[in-house]
Structure 1
Amino acid sequence: MKQTVLAAATVIIWLCLAPTSLAATLDEIKDIVEMYYYGDQPSNIRQAKTLNEIINQLDEYSVYLTPAEYKDYLNQYASASPTIQVASLTAPINVNNVQSQMLYGDIGYMKIKTFSAHLLEDVNTHWARLKSQGAKKLMLDLRFNGGGYVESAEQLLGFFPKAKDAYNLKTRMGTESAKSIPAKNTFPADTYVLVNRYSASASEIVAVSLKDQNAAVVVGETTKGKGSVQSLFELENGGALKLTTGHYTGPKGTPVQHVGVKPTIYMKPGTEQIGMHKRLVMADLVAKNYKFIKGPTDVPRQKIFNVEFTQAMNFGPADKFNKMELVKFGSVSIRTNKKQANDQTMTIQPASPMQLGGEYMLIVHPGILGANGRHVIQGTYTPYTVQKTTN
């Protein structure tokens, strides 16, 4: 039995091995399980007569790979890192693995699909681009991220200034602690990390580590609860045993396996990005002493907004009037057409129909000059929700 070996060497060994009896394979697997398996220990593994009897006593992530299945696995991932211990079996290369965009309010948004081997370079590139565009805050989206390489999780944690530690790994040999890998191009201290029930493995390592160290705000719903690590053990018959050999916890020992990571701020599934963006924008406006004005819900997609002032105003040319803007939550300030209705009213209308069910906000900034020479000293903000159907 060999626990770590390069793919090419594995194929040669498999071709040279003599046939192995089922009894010998069973004994080999029993020995491995008794020595390395981490979890509730099987009570009658020595009495097992078949492979299924053994595997059925283990957790859902421990599986037996036949010689053919293991050969296919090696062929598929021959170009991947030879390190066997990973947080999930797959970490596919995807040129669009990291995506980013700017949101209204100088907020950067970055989505990571999986913890690939080249995640460090991708995150560096995207965060540098967002900062060059004026990002002062960041939303990091790990929703639907099923995991990947543990080292990539350590690297991502290094972008958080307060995340000095990465995780603890509990195995039959004891508990090992891992540090994050410091990055030069760090995230803001108040970064928000989005997760959901499909965030698993390496995503959960990051989330629980950030929570344990108060290094970021975790937003969304409780994660999947896959905090185990699997190791591949080559068998004498040419197959392999993928076995759970440890459980990850946060740096303070907070468990993940079967319980998941509970968010700091709970949000309903599907609302995390828009909801957090809305929350951040409104908090910033409140800090600037803008006044909240309640707006209607279920407005038409081509709604015309009429903003009336209590006195005559010097708006100037309507097409150059920049003290009013319509913001789409989860996005940016959208393009609008403006028209002065009279000396006290300015009309603003989206240049294209708003999104069905979308959430928007009309912001009127201070500084508008009145006909009497005085300026508007307090801005206002009014949220709107667009109708969900065209009926």
Structure 2
Amino acid sequence: MSTPRRSVRGAAVVAALLGAYTLGAMSVEPARTGSAEPGASPGGASPDRVLDDAVEAIAAAAEGPVSRDRLREAALMAMVRELGDPWARYYPPQEFADFTAWLAGEGKTVRPEPESGDVSVEREDDLTVIRVAVFTRGVGERVREGVAGSSAVMLDLRGNPGGLLAEAVETASAFLADGPVVTYDGNDAPPEVITVTSPGDPRVPVVVLVDQGTASAAEVVAGSLRDRDRAVLVGSPTFGKGTVQEPVRLPDGSAVELTVGRYETPDGHNLEGTGVEPDVAAEESDAEERARTVLRGLAGA
């Protein structure tokens, strides 16, 4: 991080003030099914069969009809709650299929844009506005295409709930020549520094719009570009989700999503519960105008 660039960034912030969220999958072995033999003692039953035996016994003895599938789902949700992991959740088969399709860019987006799904690129005379609704597959490449040839970029991550970490890394890389983007600290592995995927444009002025709805992978992008002194952040504090979840797939097509690690920005900032503070505070109504003022300062510095 060079002193000259810090000075440029500081001047742009002063000008602005004066002017006014890896989808890998682990498989598990199918559970064995069947009932314990009559008269078998509780200690003699196979632990692998207890849940199935309980489902059958409850379904048979219940006062009214009850779905065995619903009982199994209830048991799985209770297991997830027992973990104390605020981000853990159980996905029934169809819901998990819809979720994976969404991450692959094949489903509905949170904030659809008319131009190109999860990424909208609008070119003005001296500014490119890139809005990213969610980090689904292929988003990073489309952001990189939008940056190419731009004289200044406004990257809008407001309301972005996150998505695929790899796409967030590719997006940040579009503005960096090399070096770290984020550090991933897995539960069962030493910390891994994830670096720029391929050189981007390290010179184009950048402002990133953020708000309370900017979460997870979107915070990785904002925090990375801020720590690397590549962008000025405008808006309100971000959500504060710095953990990574991964689904454990079950034989019936359902999945249990568990927290498998945390990530930190290049300066070692843990996003969980704290988020990222903007350089220039702005209300939703005037955030874009503040961002334009910052960009004018960056371009003239």
1:259 corresponds to: 274
TM-score, length basis structure 2? 0.66
Question: Displacement, 1:190?
Answer: 2.9
Question: Displacement, 1:257?
Answer: 0.8
1:4 corresponds to: 26
What SS does structure 1 have at the residue aligned with 2:269? coil
Asked if the contact 2:122–2:128 (Cα under 8 Å) also holds between the matched residues in 1, the reply is: yes
Q: Describe the superposition over 1:95-132 as per-residue Cα deviations: whole angstroms up to 9, x where unpaired.
A: 3322222346x22221111112111332233333xx3x
1:125 corresponds to: 145
Q: C-alpha separation between the residues in 2 aligned to 1:24 and 1:171? A: 33
Equivalent position to 2:127, from 92, 99, 107: 107
Do structure 1's residue 77 and structure 2's residue 93 form an aligned pair? no
Q: Structure 1 226/25 Cα, relative in aligned 2: closer, same or farther at 3 Å?
A: farther
Query: What percentage of residue pairs aligned between the two structures are identical?
Result: 23
Q: C-alpha separation between the residues in 2 aligned to 1:98 and 1:51? A: 34
Q: Structure 1 103/22 Cα, relative in aligned 2: closer, same or farther at 3 Å?
A: farther
Runs of 4 or more above 6 Å deviation: none
How many residue pairs match? The answer is 238
Q: C-alpha separation between the residues in 2 aligned to 1:284 and 1:264? A: 14
Q: C-alpha separation between the residues in 1 aligned to 2:102 and 2:281? A: 39
Question: Which runs of 5 or more residues in structure 2 are unaligned?
Answer: 1-23, 35-47, 55-74
Question: Which runs of 5 or more residues in structure 1 are unaligned?
Answer: 27-48, 82-89, 289-391
| 1:36-185 alignment runs, 5 A limit | 51-52=77-78, 55-65=81-91, 69-74=92-97, 77=100, 92=109, 95-103=116-124, 106-128=126-148, 131=149, 135-161=150-176, 164-173=179-188, 174-184=190-200
| 1:128-277 alignment runs, 5 A limit | 128=148, 131=149, 135-161=150-176, 164-173=179-188, 174-184=190-200, 186=201, 188-235=203-250, 239-277=254-292
Question: Displacement, 1:271?
Answer: 1.9
Q: C-alpha separation between the residues in 1 aligned to 2:32 and 2:108? A: 30
Asked if the contact 1:91–1:147 (Cα under 8 Å) also holds between the matched residues in 2, the reply is: no
Q: C-alpha separation between the residues in 2 aligned to 1:272 and 1:148? A: 24
User: Which protein has the larger Cα radius of gyration, Structure 1 or Structure 2?
Assistant: 1
Question: Displacement, 1:220?
Answer: 1.2
Letter in 1 for 2:145: T
What SS does structure 2 have at the residue aligned with 1:77? helix
Q: Describe the superposition over 1:303-354 as per-residue Cα deviations: whole angstroms up to 9, x where unpaired.
A: xxxxxxxxxxxxxxxxxxxxxxxxxxxxxxxxxxxxxxxxxxxxxxxxxxxx
Q: Which of 1 and 2 has higher RCO (CA within 8 Å, sep 6+)?
A: 2
State the Cα RMSD in Å.
3.6
Give the number of the structure whose residues are more often strand, by fraction: 1
Asked if the contact 2:177–2:202 (Cα under 8 Å) also holds between the matched residues in 1, the reply is: no
